Amino acid sequence: MKQLWLDFKQRPLWRKVLDVAVLLFALAGFAIIGAWALYQTGITNNRGAVDKNYRYLLSVSEMENLTASQLTPQRQNELWSQQCARLAAFGRYYPVNARLIMQAAQSSGNPAVADRMLAAAEMYIDDASPYNNLADELVDILTAKPQQQRPNVIPWMNTPEWEALRTAIARDSALINEAGRLTGVEPRLIVGCLVGEQIRLFNSKREMFKKYLGPVKMLSVQSQFSYGVNGIKDFTAEAVEQHLKDPTSEFYMGRGYEHLLDFETDDHVTERYNRLVDYRNHLYSYIYTGCILHQTMLQWRRAGYDISDRPDILFTLFNVGFSQSVPKADPVCGGSHIEVDGRMYTFGALGFDFYYSGELANIYPFQAQRFIEKDRALTQQEIEQIQANMSNCSRPQRGLEYRRDSADANPAATLDEPPDPFGIDHSQVQPLDHIPQ
């Protein structure tokens, strides 16, 4: 070894550098080969370990997996009330986890999810006795009270009319949400107006509902006195159009909405009527509704009264019309009286009931901002896209849309006309006359 060192010292510098480089490369090669050998033998593999809570984790995973379709409505309500009791107790100790479990359970569609999530979280509680005692007390209090048979606290929502209307409103979700976007109005507000008008129609013509509209769960379209699914009068629709164009109007919505209801033809009366009584595409009915809500809200705000957080007042004003919209400090909910299943309601109250009921909130959610102001004007392409929502169906003469003899009264209604999308034979449907309020 000493001789090797002496020989190395006597070599020239370039040779020393070369020898050191060769030595380093050799060492690196041995290291790589050694690491590969260790890997191949499996010595470095981490085989893991069995979790100390293995049996508990297994029991959570094996908890019964249920779907809402497997349970009766009564059993679903019982399970949900018990889970709410345990979540309320859990929330007294771990509020963040309780809120997350609640949100996940509501969106899962599986009633067992809340039980599984609670059981998984309870694994980390050192002493679960206080929580379990509180949870058991709350569950005992609930179970001591017999389950009530009436499913909905709002009486009119327990009627067959609402069950049919609920489905019909859900079918129009794309149109209603688009109308909300175009008019800058929360879609749920537009639905509140629709609910009031349709409940009124369903109950004023109960026999027709039972025979025609109820079985296919279809919205009623009016063609006399007031038009469309929301019962908008022609002079109200004309006023909406004028407010959109007049920057000096107290109802003016801004330049971003000026061309929202531009006409394609010079015959505005006929085109307006065709827009509103279109029974295949209700977009224009919803756009006019959104504009009425937005314009009325702006009128009151400019007068110093903000009613954007008062859906009951907005629904009432939609029902009574622009002429009776007088801004004041103490507005009251009201409107037309509507009898449903032996109880009397007002138009504003029906819309208010729906708005805060939670019904259809997955389709029409509550939004942080009910009204949106926008300044960007619509492009010509956007205007044409809105206008393209006019169905090409043949329309009857005014007031004859749902008469038994409508085919005879309307030469344009030929056998080649496309069938109704919901299977309704419109030649057999009696008219829904909207009595002026």
DSSP tally for the chain: helices H, then strands E: 19, 5
Position 139 scores a pLDDT of 83
Tens of pLDDT, residues 193-203: 999 999 888 77
Tell me the backbone φ, ψ of residue 227, rounded to 5 degrees. Answer: -125, 150
Q: Are residues 75 and 208 in the same domain?
A: no
pTM, rounded to two decimals:
0.71
Q: Is residue 44 part of a domain?
A: no
- Residue 42 belongs to a domain: no
258 and 360 share a domain?
yes
Residue 101 placed within a domain: yes
Question: Of all helices (H) and strands (E), which one includes residue 3?
Answer: helix 2-10
pLDDT value for 41: 65
pLDDT at 252 over 90: yes
Backbone torsions φ then ψ of 141, nearest 5 degrees: -65, -45
Distances (CA, A) of 59 to 56, 122, 199, 362: 5, 13, 49, 32
Do 183 and 135 share a structural domain? no
pLDDT at residue number 432: 33
**pLDDT tens for each residue of 72-117:** 667 777 777 778 888 888 888 888 988 888 888 777 766 677 787 8
Q: Given pLDDT bands bounded at 50, 70 and 90, which one contains residue 164?
A: confident
CA–CA gap between residue 92 and residue 432 (Å, rounded) = 54
Do both 92 and 210 map to the same domain? no
Same domain? 271 vs 303: yes
Specify the pLDDT at position 170. 93
Residue type for position 387: Q
pLDDT number for residue 225: 81
Residue-wise over 188-221: b if at least 16 C-beta within 10 A, else e? bbbbbbbbbbbbbbbbbbeebbeebbbeebbbbb
Q: Answer with the residue of higher pLDDT: 49 or 325.
A: 325
Q: Helix H segments across 44-109?
A: 54-61, 73-93, 95-108
Q: How many Å separate Cα 3 from the centre of its chain?
A: 89
Lowest mean pLDDT among 104-113, 288-297, 302-311: 104-113
pLDDT computed for residue 130 by the predictor:
87
Whether the predicted pLDDT of 24 surpasses 70: yes
- Statement to judge: residues 9 and 74 lie in one domain: no
| Mean pLDDT of the region 340-350 | 92
Tell me, what amino acid is at 93? Y
Is 418 found in the same domain as 353?
Answer: yes
Return the pLDDT at 286: 96
The residue with greater pLDDT, 325 or 4, is 325
Residues 24 and 114 in one domain: no
Confidence of residue 56 (pLDDT cuts 50, 70, 90): very low
Q: Which residue among 144, 169, 188 closes a domain? A: 144
- Helix or strand or coil: residue 249? coil
Across 11-33, average pLDDT? 72
User: What is the residue type of 385?
Assistant: Q
Burial class (CB in 10 A: 0-12, 13-18, 19+), 101: buried
Q: Which residues are bridge partners to 339 per DSSP?
A: 344
Question: Does some domain include residue 202?
Answer: yes
> Is 378 inside a domain boundary?
yes
Stretch (H or E) spanning 344: strand 343-346
126 or 372, greater pLDDT: 372
Sign of CA dihedral 394, 400, 406, 407: negative
Residue 396's pLDDT is 44
Whether residues 262 and 320 share a domain: the answer is yes
HEC profile of 12-31: CHHHHHHHHHHHHHHHHHHH
- Residues 404-427 pLDDT 10s: 333 333 333 333 333 433 343 434
92 part of a folded domain: yes
Average pLDDT over residues 255-270: 94
Instruction: Answer yes or no: do 319 and 395 share one domain.
Output: yes
Same-domain status, 407 and 280: yes
Residue 378 CB coordination number (10 Å): 19
Q: Say if 114 falls within a structural domain.
A: yes
Number of domains in the chain: 3
Query: Cβ of 377: how many Cβ atoms within 10 Å?
Result: 13
Instruction: For residues 16 and 8, give the distance between their C-alpha atoms in angstroms, rounded to a whole number.
Output: 7
Q: Are strands 337-340 and 343-346 parallel, antiparallel or unpaired?
A: antiparallel
> What's the CA gap between 309 and 13, in Å, rounded?
88
Name the more confident of 285 and 201.
285
Verify that 356 and 413 share a domain, yes or no: yes
Residue 149: per-residue pLDDT: 66
Q: Among 75-84, 274-283, 353-362, 399-408, which is the least confidently predicted range?
A: 399-408
Residue 7 has pLDDT above 80, yes or no: no
Residue 121 has pLDDT above 80, yes or no: yes
Range of the domain at 19: 2-30
The reply to whether 437 falls in a domain is: no
